[in-house]
Amino acid sequence: MTRFESEIKDVNQPASAIYQVLSNFDNFDHLLPEDKISNWQSFGDSCRFEVVGLGQFGLKIVNKDADKMVKYTADGSVPFNFFLWVQLKEIDSSTTKIKVTLDADLNPMLKMVASGPLKKFVGLLAEAIASHTY
């Protein structure tokens, strides 16, 4: 597995507000960059979308720890297996630190092609979570 990690970001919200958005895909599409994502479909605990330059993806929630973490994995036909999770650490009632991690099972050729876009995606997702209006 190849690991991609975002920088730790500060969010001026309680962990419960962030968790509420991240734990239901019906709230999630506003976090994804519109110029990189198309054909968004949400089904609550799963979703489907296309990433420009990488193809179609599906995600499903595989683990939730209220106000601490949400973990996702591939759902359906995707070019590679992966786990994506967001960790939440509430500092006080108005500040939470977040980190996005992606573990991807990439063959050497795919690793060469996809590493840059995946690293960028993880960073963009963390930034979107940090700057989202909750």
Q: What does residue 36 show for φ and ψ, rounded to 5 degrees?
A: -110, -15
48, 76 Cβ separation under 8 angstroms: yes
Among 85, 105, 110, 72, smallest CA distance to 5 is for 85
CB atoms within 10 A of CB 108: 6
Whole-structure pTM over 0.75, yes or no?
yes
**Structural domain for 36, as ranges:** 2-131
Question: Average pLDDT, whole number, for the chain?
Answer: 91
- Residue 66: pLDDT band (50, 70, 90) is very high
Tally of domains within the chain: 1
CATH of the domain at 59: 3.30.530.20
Q: What is the pLDDT of residues 69-110, one digit of tens each?
A: 999 998 877 778 899 999 999 999 999 999 999 999 999 998
Distance CA 96, CA 34 (A): 25
Distance CA 85, CA 118 (A): 14
118, 36 Cβ separation under 8 angstroms: no
